[in-house]
Amino acid sequence: MRTGILSVLVVLFILQHAHAAEPALWVESPGTMILPDRVPGGGGAIERTGVRNEYVCAQLALRAAESLNGPLHFEWTALKGPAGEIAKEHVRLFRAADISVTHGDKVDEQKDPRRIRRMGAYPDALVPLVKRDGTSVANAIALEKDRTAAFWVDIFLPAGAKPGTYEGAIALKGEGVNRTVPVKITVLNLEIPADATLPSLFDLRFHPHVKEHMDAYVEEALAHRVQPFNYHYEDFAFNSGFGFEFLDKLNPGGRGFACVYLWDSRPPAPARATQIVENLKKITAHLKEKKLFEKSYLYLKDEPSGEEIKAAEAVAKLVLDALPEWKGKLLCTLNTEGTGLDALLTHHVRALKIYGPWYMQINPPGGREAWDKRRAEGQQLWFYVSNAQGFPFPTFDVHTANMGFEPRVLGWGYWYEKAGGHLYWDLLYEPKWTLNERFPPGDGQLIYPGDFSLAGAPAWVQVKDLEGPVVSRRLKMQREGLEEWELLRMAEAKAGRAKVQAIVEKVYTCLGRRTWAPDAYDPKQPMWSYDEAAWDQAREQVLGLLK
C-alpha cells in the first residue's frame, strides 16, 4: 500500500515538475517593447484583420522559469480558409537580437514616464528563424532562465488572397515542450498597391556586404515600402565599376522611385556646367528607357546655406534651361526660405523641428496654412525624419521603452500634414552591429548587415552570412504606418477628407511642439496618442469607411 502511494506521489511530482519546466509563451502587440524582465501576460492567440498586399504582424514572448533540457524550435503552418490558403512561405518568424544602447537622450521619468529612454539592451534586430529555402538560421532556441525573449511574426496577405478568415497555428516544440498559438487572420476585400505610392527615399550605401548582396538589400527595403537610393547616383552612373546596370538594381523591373543627387557646393565652372548637362542628359534618357522618369527626382545640395544656396540655385537654373523636363522634379532640404532657390524648388524637404506652427524655427514660419498656399502653387512638402529631431518628436530611437510603436505615427502624420514624400539620410550608415555613438541610438541604422561574424552580432545564429540585411523592428513599425497611409489615402478618395480626418484627429494633432513657452509640449496632453490600442481602433474605423 505504502509502495503504491509512493509511486503515485512520484508520478505527481514528475508531472508537476514537467509542467513547471514548460516555458511561458504568449502574444504581444507589434508595438510592445518586450524587454528581458517582461512577465507572462498578453494573449494566447494571434487575431488580426488586414487587406491584400499588406503585412499583418504580432509578437511572441517566451520565458522559462527553470532551465530546459535542450533547445526549442518553432513550427508553423499555412493559413487555410474557405477560399484557399495563405501559403506557409508568407508566414515568417524572427528572433529579436538585443542591441546595446549606451548613449543618447534620456527623458525625465518623473515628468514624462511614457516617453522614457533608458540605457540598456533593446530587442531591435529581427533575425529570421529560417531562410526562405527552409534552412535554419536561428531556430534552435536556448532560453536563459528568467529572461524573456522576443519573436516577431510577419504574415503577408498576397494579392491573390480571397476575402475571408484564414486559420493556422504556430507551435513551440522541444523536449517535454509542445505549446501552440492559434493564428486567425481576416482578409478584407480591399487591396493596397503592391509598391509604395508615397515616395520614401532612404539612402543605401554600397558597403561591401551591400554590394555583394545588392538584390536582397533592395528587395527588403522595397518590401518595407521605402525606396533605396544613393547620393552618388551621378558618380556611379559613369563609374566603370558600377554603371547604370548596377544602379538599376535599386529599381528592379522599373519599380519604385529614382533619385539623382547633385552635390555642387559652388556655382559650377564652365567645365563642370558642361559635365552636369551631358551627364544629366544620359541619365534622363536612361530613366525614360526604364519607365522611371515620371517617378524621378533631382536632389540638390543637402541642407545648403550661404554660398551653397547660390550654388544650388545656379545648378537648378542650368538644369531647367538645358533639360526643362526636370521642371517640377527638384528636391532639396532647404531650411532657409525666401531665397532664389526657394522659388525654383517643387519638393521642399522639412525636418520636423522646423515645420509647423508648433516649432517656429524658420523665418518666415511655414505652417499648415502656408503649405496649403504653396500646394495651390504646385509645391510639395516632404518630411525629413531622424533621431536627430529628438524629443518630443516621433523618432527612430532604439530605446523607446514604453512606445515601441513610435515610427508607426509617421505615416499618419504624413497624411494629416498632406506631405508629398519622406527623405531619410541612411539605412545603414556603418556596416556593423553596434550603434554609432556619434548619433542618437538607431539614427542611420534601420537595418543591420546579415554578416554574423561582425562584432556585436548575436552568437545564437547558426549561419555565418544571411546574404542580405537584418531588418530592425523600427523599420517594420514604420512599414505599418506607411501601409496605413495607403489606407488613409484610399479612404479619403472614397469618403472625403473630412470623414477620415475626424478619425485621425482622435489619435493625432501634430508631430511635435516646442519644448518652451508659450505652447510647450505637455506630457499630459500629448500631440499624438501614446496608446497603441487607440491607433488600432482608428485603423479599424478607417477600414470601416472602405468596406
Q: What is the pLDDT of residues 43-65, one digit of tens each?
A: 999 999 999 999 999 999 999 99
What is the per-residue pLDDT for 331?
Answer: 95
pLDDT of 514? 73
6 or 183: which leads in pLDDT:
183
* 111-122 residues labelled b (16+ CB within 10 A) or e (exposed): ebeebbbeeeeb
Question: 161-170, 263-272, 379-388 — which is least confidently predicted?
Answer: 379-388
Total residues belonging to the chain: 547
pLDDT classification of 402: cutoffs 50, 70, 90: very high
Identify whether the C-beta of residue 190 lies closer than 8 Å to the C-beta of residue 546: yes
Buried/exposed code over 289-327 (b: 16+ C-beta within 10 A; e: otherwise)? ebebbebbbbbbbbebeeebbebbbbbbebbbeebeebe
H-only helix segments in 323-461: 340-344, 368-376, 409-416
Query: What per-residue confidence (pLDDT) applies to 320?
Result: 97
Band (387; pLDDT cuts 50, 70, 90): confident
Task: Residue 368: count other Cβ atoms within 10 Å of its Cβ.
Answer: 15
pLDDT at 366: 59
The DSSP output letter for 167 is: E
What does the block give as the cell for 192? 493596397
Identify the CA nearest to 141 among candidates 108, 184, 95.
95
Q: Which residues pair with 200 in a beta bridge?
A: 422
| CA distances from residue 303 to 229, 395, 419 in whole angstroms, order as listed | 18, 20, 19
DSSP reduced 3-state for 415: helix
* Burial readout 235-250 (b: 16 or more C-beta within 10 A, e: otherwise): ebbeeeebebebbeeb
87 vs 169: CA distance, rounded Å:
13
Report CA 246 to chain centroid distance, whole Å.
25
CA atoms within 13 A on the CB side of 528: 25
- Average pLDDT in the chain: 91
Helical spans, DSSP H, in 143-213: 208-212
Helix (H) / strand (E) element for 60: namely strand 54-63
In a 13 Å sphere around the CA of 99, the CA atoms on its Cβ side amount to 31
CA end-to-end span of the chain = 69
- pLDDT for residue 41: 92
Coil/strand/helix, residue 488: helix
pLDDT of residue 520: 80
Residue 170 clears pLDDT 80, i.e. is over it: yes
- Comparing 7-21, 129-143, 211-225, 410-424, which segment has the lowest mean pLDDT? 7-21
* Tens digit of each residue's pLDDT (9 = 90 or more) over 216-260: 999 999 999 999 999 999 999 999 889 999 999 999 999 999 999
pLDDT on residue 355: 63
Distance CA 390, CA 521 (A): 13
Beta bridge partners of 164: 187
pLDDT at residue 213, rounded to an integer:
98
1 pLDDT tier (thresholds 50, 70, 90): very low
Average pLDDT estimate for 199-227:
98
Q: What pLDDT score was predicted for residue 8?
A: 36
* Integer Cα distance of 225 and 11 in angstroms: 55
> Of the CATH numbers 3.10.310, 3.20.20, 2.40.10, 1.10.10, which one belongs to the domain with range 200-490?
3.20.20
Mean pLDDT within 489-510: 97
Looking at 29-33, 70-74, 112-116, 336-340, which range is the least confident one?
336-340
pLDDT in tens, 120-152: 999 999 999 999 999 999 999 999 999 999 999
Q: What is the pTM of this model?
A: 0.94
Confidence tier at 15 by pLDDT (50, 70, 90): very low
Q: What is the pLDDT of residue 357?
A: 44
Give domain 19-191's CATH architecture.
Sandwich (2.60)
- Name the segment(s) of the chain with CATH classification 3.20.20: 200-490
- Predicted confidence at residue 354, as pLDDT, reads 65
Cβ-contact 424, 147 below 8 angstroms:
no
pLDDT at 499 exceeding the cut of 50: yes
Residue 360 confidence (pLDDT): 46
- 9-32 burial, b if ≥16 CB within 10 A, otherwise e? eeeeeeeeeeeebbbebbbbbbbb
Average pLDDT over residues 417-444: 94
Check the CA dihedral 376-202-157-61 and report its sign. Answer: negative
Residue 6: which pLDDT band, with cuts at 50, 70 and 90? Answer: very low
161, 59 contact by CB (below 8 A)? no
Instruction: List the grid coordinates of 128.
Output: 529570421
Residue 304 has pLDDT above 80, yes or no: yes
pLDDT per residue over 517-538, tens digit each?
777 888 888 999 999 999 999 9
14-28, 221-235, 354-368, 514-528, range with greatest mean pLDDT: 221-235
> Where exactly does CATH 2.60.40.10 map onto the chain?
19-191
Maximum C-alpha span of the chain: 107
